[in-house]
Amino acid sequence: MPNNDPDAKPRILTGDTPTGRLHLGHWVGSLENRVALQDRYDCYFLIANMHAFTTRADKPAEIRESVIDIVKDWISCGMDPERSTFVLQTEVPAIAELTWFFAMLLPFNRVMRNPTLKTELETKGLGDNYSFGFPMYTVGQCADILAFRPELVPVGEDQVAHIEPCREVARRFNQLYCGIDPHTEDADYPGAGAVFPIPHAKIGRVGRLVGTDGVNKMSKSLNNAIFLSDTPKQIKKKMGQLFTGRQTMDEPGDIHNALFDYVRIFIRDPERVAELERRYAAGDNIGDGHVKAEVAEAIDELIAPMRERRAEYEKPGGDDLAIDILKAGTRRANEVAEETLAMAKDAMQMDFGKRGELLPA
Ligand code: ATP
Ligand code: MG
């Protein structure tokens, strides 16, 4: 719905790349915030399937499957398609068009210096042969966000480096094409006649959850993730693999290791957390195995209601149900994105006629 109404709720845009199923890192980094904010904000949640092709152009079937898995993950974790809008990136043509315009507003070297991009090149082993499209996703993400003219973008820590170029693009576009004074405060752009508000990132309760390898960011592509769709047995097994290096239960342990990060993040009773910390630090007859089992149980408590909500979508016909939800959301999303594109083109003096006039019916 157009956002011209001053009483309309402020907007959120965020999303996930369909490169696998969602995991605990997504939950603490972004999903938890999405669920909490969906009543106060007009939320658009995007599945960035075009961006999945930047690293997996040879795996269309996997990307397709992940798209459906992510819709199921979202619903399972409490994101509600009645209150929020689920969007499929490739069916919102305005995003691809805005990507082109925005590519002209970001210096090439600025994109290549992005620290998250560099880390991804390394951890994903992309070497020297990454596609031209890979760094393009930085620009594409500006378009994903700005197509919805949101105020807030709930993301994990690694994505903050991607929100910054988006803010720069928005400022630059507004200054070049809407005559906004460069000294304008970010918050004052909308009132000054800008097309784009300057959105800001909102980092979740945990900005970077370490994976079960105890080293890297938990990531779908690194084989170190506990998925929101894992069974209690899988959770227990994966927690058991978390390496601490500690040998015996009477050896004083380091409560700042990855295992205790998990204790503090997932065990919700602060007294129990304090007790475990005290005994572990003192080497007071408490083995890693016991702590891991307690954490696994706490994680399972978090995931059990998700499992219940997911059940309906695991039955025959579940995939179609998920696809229908995505189609309905994408239709709504196109109303907003088309409106944004028309505003942007007008500002860029591309006012040669309405889009519908020149396309086949
Ligand atoms: P990939 O390995 O394909 O990059 P990913 O696991 O990093 O996948 P994304 O789809 O890139 O997942 O990220 C989706 C959102 O989840 C982003 O906002 C990102 O910051 C957040 N996120 C991902 N992993 C973590 C994590 N381990 N801790 C906190 N937030 C995370
Ligand atoms: Mg990522």
Chain mean pLDDT for the chain:
94
Compute the distance between CA of residue 192 and CA of residue 86 in angstroms, rounded to an integer. 31
Compute the distance between CA of residue 33 and CA of residue 263 in angstroms, rounded to an integer. 20
**Both ends of the chain: CA-CA distance in Å?**
22
Give me ligand 1 centre to Cα 25, in Å. 7
CATH 3.90.1150.10 corresponds to the domain 11-208+316-347: no
pLDDT average, residue stretch 186-208: 95
**Could you state, in order of their start, the residue ranges of all structural domains in the chain?**
11-208+316-347, 232-311
pLDDT average, residue stretch 271-288: 95
Specify the pLDDT at position 134: 94
Give the residue, by CA position, lying nearest to ligand 1 atom 20: 156
Q: How confident is the model at residue 267 (pLDDT cuts 50, 70, 90)?
A: very high
Q: How confident is the model at residue 5 (pLDDT cuts 50, 70, 90)?
A: low
Q: Is 349 left (phi over 0), alpha (psi -120 to 50) or beta?
A: left
Same-fold call for 11-208+316-347 versus 232-311: no
211-262: per-residue pLDDT in tens? 999 999 998 878 899 999 999 999 999 999 998 888 888 999 999 999 999 9
Give the residue, by CA position, lying nearest to ligand 1 atom 5: 219
Nearest atom (ligand 1) to Cα of 20: 3
Residues with C-beta less than 6 Å from any ligand 1 atom: 16-17, 19, 25-26, 28-30, 155-156, 158-159, 206-209, 217-221
String of DSSP letters for 136-147: HHHHHHHHHHHT
Indicate if the pLDDT at residue 110 is higher than 60: yes
Q: How confident is the model at residue 6 (pLDDT cuts 50, 70, 90)?
A: low
258-266 vs 288-314: helix axis angle to the nearest 10? 50
Task: For a ligand 1 pocket test, name from 17, 67, 116, 141 the mutation site with the most ligand atoms within 8 angstroms of its C-beta.
Answer: 17
Give me ligand 2 centre to Cα 17, in Å. 7
Task: For a ligand 1 pocket test, name from 79, 206, 219 the mutation site with the most ligand atoms within 8 angstroms of its C-beta.
Answer: 219
Give me ligand 1 centre to Cα 27, in Å. 9
- pTM recorded for the entire structure: 0.93
Fold annotation for 232-311:
Tyrosyl-Transfer RNA Synthetase (1.10.240)
**Percent of the chain with pLDDT strictly greater than 70:** 98
Q: How confident is the model at residue 2 (pLDDT cuts 50, 70, 90)?
A: very low
